[in-house]
């Protein structure tokens, strides 16, 4: 991610951060879903993992991915917006990715609203299986290229806003924060903040970035 202009953007954090608090989860049983979508999400919850289009050494496409494709076709925009805030992380992640695939205009505001979402979700892409924060999954969805297109990607201004929040929000615990720190080149502008992260949060990545 590019880091220039972070200091200027940081002055707007007082306006942005209220929108970045985790939204109250909506249990799926309280969401009004069509019978088709309800059946899909129930199966997704039972599988309990977020699979990419190709998993394993042979690039196998799992039943969970086919459920995701079915969700993309069957769900309305409102259903996806509701599922993004569901209390089950698998549904939240797949709903967000479905909105990104649709190039939905609300993707960036939704991302900002989930930057403190530290619910854990199990994911697999290729041979890589990991436990992830929902907020980190959301960030990767809109910053990394996917095999399936189209997909919503952050523009330069949005990247700067995201980077600024990751760096200056003192409540930020997502792994994306360390990813940003590890990619930053030494710059006197950010030295004080990076030093604060290194000392007060005992962050070794920040220490290396000094």
Banded pLDDT at 123 (limits 50, 70, 90)? very high
Mean pLDDT of the chain: 88
The pLDDT of residue 10: 46
User: How does pLDDT run across 43-90, given as a tens digit for each residue?
Assistant: 999 999 999 999 999 999 999 999 999 999 999 999 999 999 999 999
pTM of the model: 0.85
Both tokens assigned to 210: 């000094």
Nearest to 2 by CA among 138, 150, 170, 185: 185
Both tokens assigned to 89: 């992380």
Banded pLDDT at 209 (limits 50, 70, 90)? confident
- Arithmetic mean of pLDDT, 19-36: 65
Cα(135)–Cα(92) distance, integer angstroms: 10
- Chain CA centroid to CA 67, Å: 20
Cα(181)–Cα(142) distance, integer angstroms: 19
For 118, the 3-state DSSP assignment is: coil
Residue matched to tokens 């059946």: 39
Burial state string for 61-97 with b = 16 or more CB within 10 A and e = fewer than 16: ebebbebbebbbeebeeebbbbbbbbebbbbbbbbbb
The pLDDT of residue 25: 55
For residue 150, is the peptide bond before it cis, meaning its omega torsion is within 30 degrees of 0? yes
Cα-flanking dihedrals φ and ψ of residue 50, to 5°? -100, 110
Question: At residue 41, does pLDDT exceed 80?
Answer: yes
The CA-based dihedral angle spanning residues 72, 64, 81, 93, taken in that order and rounded to the nearest 10 degrees: -130
């Amino acid at each position: 991610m590019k880091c220039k202009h972070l200091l200027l953007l940081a002055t707007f954090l007082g306006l942005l951060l209220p929108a970045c608090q985790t939204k109250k989860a909506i249990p799926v049983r309280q969401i009004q879903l069509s019978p088709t979508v309800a059946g899909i999400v129930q199966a997704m919850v039972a599988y309990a993992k977020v699979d990419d289009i190709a998993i394993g050494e042979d690039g196998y496409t799992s039943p969970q991915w086919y459920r995701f494709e079915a969700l993309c076709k069957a769900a309305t925009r409102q259903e996806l917006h509701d599922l993004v805030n569901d209390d089950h992380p698998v549904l939240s992640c797949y709903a967000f990715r479905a909105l990104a695939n649709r190039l939905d205009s609300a993707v960036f505001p939704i991302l900002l609203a989930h930057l403190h979402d530290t619910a854990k979700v199990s994911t697999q892409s290729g041979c890589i299986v990991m436990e992830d924060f929902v907020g980190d999954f959301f960030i990767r969805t809109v910053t990394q290229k996917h095999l399936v297109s189209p997909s919503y990607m952050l523009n330069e201004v949005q990247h700067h806003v995201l980077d600024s929040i990751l760096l200056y929000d003192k409540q930020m615990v997502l792994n994306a924060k360390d990813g940003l720190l590890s990619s930053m080149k030494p710059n006197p502008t950010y030295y004080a903040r990076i030093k604060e992260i290194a000392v007060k949060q005992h962050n070794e990545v920040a220490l290396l970035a000094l």
